[in-house]
């Protein structure tokens, strides 16, 4: 046997041994004295049959009632929707279908409808657009938030993002961008028809935009005085608008950039089919519903062309509950998920009893 195997590599020289010691040298070692100990285990939220089974039942027991609650609430919400695009020849608005932006006087049409049920609480009036890509990237970014926030330099020199709606005839557009340019400009008026008399229904146009938008995010340019016409001097109106921004409304606190219709429009919708809050109808007294069942007519100043891109326009009347408008999805989803959890809980319980008898727990011995 070869005892010298441990030095095979080094003793190849001549001469007496280039011996290396069996005396051990001290290598660099990290002593344990400096060793921080790993932290001790704490509360352990770990999946085991013992925790998962009750969790399934609890989820089931919580979700199903919530789902039922939401479902009932959703069903109690009154909602009425009219499509007034006028694509069908029979529709009163058919004549306006190919309207263009600058048609004066505006094409008007009236649609009569009947509410089967009365709308008890406050009613919210929406307009809805379909096939309108407010979420198109080119569209979404085509705005200048500093301009809308009242920044004077941006007012006269809008962001490049606004192209091709940035300047018109060498004047900066206020508000610039595609979003502002394409602002919805149909006018909707609602009448109640009671024995052939048309009673206009008061539509409130304030409170439709987010409070923070109206008071913080959107601001008119500042300067001497409050005369908006002067403040917007040097700018021009968006190409498609009939009137400049400072003539959107007669009331000064709803005019210019802080016009609520404008603010609502500027919040770009997430999906190509969307609705936007148009007006509020407040319940006047506690004895009468806001909108009684009966006949109504909707007067439309049809300015907004959607036919060219296959779009649809709707008017929606809806009441609102604590969980928003009519939305059966959430309730059904809750009930479904709750039931599934409950069902799974039962199945697992059976499995646990069937297979788990051999070992009472699946816990990890930690």
Interface residues for another protein in 145-184 (CB under 8 A)? 145-146, 149, 159, 161, 163-165, 178, 181-182
Burial 145-184 (b: 16+ CB within 10 A, else e): eebbbbbeebbeebbebbeebbbbeeebbbbbbbbbbbbb
Please state the closest distance from residue 197 (CB atom) to another protein, in A: 29
d(CA 353, CA 366): 24
Work out the angle at residue 111's Cα, subtended by the Cα atoms of residues 188 and 325, and round it to the nearest 5 degrees.
Answer: 60
Check binding of 54 to another protein (CB under 8 A).
Answer: no
173 versus 208: smaller Cβ distance to another protein = 208
Burial 212-246 (b: 16+ CB within 10 A, else e): ebbeebbebbeeeeeebeebbeebbbbebbeebbb
Residues from 14 through 53 that contact another protein (CB under 8 A): 14-32, 35-49, 52
Check binding of 113 to another protein (CB under 8 A).
Answer: no
Please state the closest distance from residue 19 (CB atom) to another protein, in A: 5
Please state the closest distance from residue 256 (CB atom) to another protein, in A: 18
Stretch that binds another protein, among 108-116, 136-144, 188-196, 251-259 (CB under 8 A): 136-144
Check binding of 12 to another protein (CB under 8 A).
Answer: yes
d(CA 100, CA 107): 10
270 versus 287: smaller Cβ distance to another protein = 270
- The count of residues interacting with another protein (CB under 8 A) is 136
141 versus 205: smaller Cβ distance to another protein = 141
218 versus 246: smaller Cβ distance to another protein = 218
Q: Extract the tokens encoding 126.
A: 């929406």
Residues from 206 through 265 that contact another protein (CB under 8 A): 207-210, 212-213, 216-217, 264
User: What order of strands is seen across the sheet that includes strand 312-319?
Assistant: 79-83, 312-319, 123-130, 274-281
| Helix or strand run (H / E) with residue 230 | helix 228-231
Check binding of 357 to another protein (CB under 8 A).
Answer: no
Q: Which of 108, 157, 233, 268 binds another protein (CB under 8 A)?
A: 268
Please state the closest distance from residue 191 (CB atom) to another protein, in A: 22
Check binding of 98 to another protein (CB under 8 A).
Answer: no
248 versus 277: smaller Cβ distance to another protein = 277
Number of residues in the chain: 366
Please state the closest distance from residue 5 (CB atom) to another protein, in A: 4
Please state the closest distance from residue 288 (CB atom) to another protein, in A: 20
Please state the closest distance from residue 94 (CB atom) to another protein, in A: 20
Distance of CA 93 to the CA centre of its chain: 30
Please state the closest distance from residue 240 (CB atom) to another protein, in A: 8
Residues from 318 through 337 that contact another protein (CB under 8 A): 318, 320-327, 329-330, 333-334, 337
d(CA 74, CA 332): 10
Check binding of 356 to another protein (CB under 8 A).
Answer: yes
* Residue found by looking up tokens 């409050």 in the block: 226
Per-residue DSSP letters for 266-326? HS--SSSSEEEEEEEE----SSS-SB-SEEEEEEEEE----GGGT-EEEEEEEE-BTTBS-
59 versus 156: smaller Cβ distance to another protein = 59
Burial 51-81 (b: 16+ CB within 10 A, else e): ebbeebbebbeebbeebeebbebbeebbbbe
Please state the closest distance from residue 132 (CB atom) to another protein, in A: 7
């Amino acid at each position: 046997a070869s005892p010298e195997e441990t030095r095979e590599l080094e003793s190849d020289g001549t001469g007496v041994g280039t011996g290396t010691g069996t005396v051990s040298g001290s290598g660099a070692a990290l002593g344990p004295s400096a060793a921080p100990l790993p932290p001790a285990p704490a509360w352990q939220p770990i999946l085991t049959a013992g925790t998962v089974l009750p969790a399934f039942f609890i989820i089931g027991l919580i979700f199903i009632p919530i789902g039922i609650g939401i479902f009932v609430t959703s069903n109690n919400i009154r909602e009425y929707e009219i499509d007034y695009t006028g694509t069908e020849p029979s529709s009163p608005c058919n004549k306006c279908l190919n309207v263009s932006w600058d048609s004066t006087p505006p094409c008007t049409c009236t649609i009569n409808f009947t509410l089967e049920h009365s709308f008890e609480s406050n009613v919210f009036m929406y307009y809805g657009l379909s096939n309108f890509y407010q979420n198109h990237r080119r569209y979404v970014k085509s705005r200048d938030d500093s301009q809308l926030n009242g920044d004077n330099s941006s007012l006269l020199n809008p962001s490049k993002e606004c192209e091709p709606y940035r300047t018109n005839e060498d004047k900066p557009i206020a508000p610039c961008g595609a979003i502002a340019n394409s602002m919805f400009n149909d006018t909707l008026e609602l009448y109640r028809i009671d024995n052939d008399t048309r009673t206009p229904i008061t539509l409130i146009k304030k409170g439709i935009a987010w409070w923070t938008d109206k008071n913080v995010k959107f601001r008119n340019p500042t300067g001497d005085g409050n005369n908006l016409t002067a403040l917007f001097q040097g700018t021009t109106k968006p190409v498609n608008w009939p009137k400049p921004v400072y003539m959107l409304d007669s009331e000064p606190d709803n005019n210019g950039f802080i016009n609520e219709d404008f603010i609502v429009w500027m919040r770009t919708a997430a999906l190509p089919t969307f609705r936007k809050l148009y007006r509020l109808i407040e319940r006047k007294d506690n004895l009468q519903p806001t909108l009684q069942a009966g006949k109504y007519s909707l007067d439309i100043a049809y300015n907004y062309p959607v036919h060219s891109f296959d779009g649809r326009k709707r008017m929606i009347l809806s009441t609102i509950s604590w969980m928003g408008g009519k939305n059966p999805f959430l309730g059904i989803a809750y009930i479904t998920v709750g039931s599934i959890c409950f069902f799974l809980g039962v199945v697992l319980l059976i499995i646990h009893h069937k297979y788990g008898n051999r070992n009472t727990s699946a816990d990890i011995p930690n």
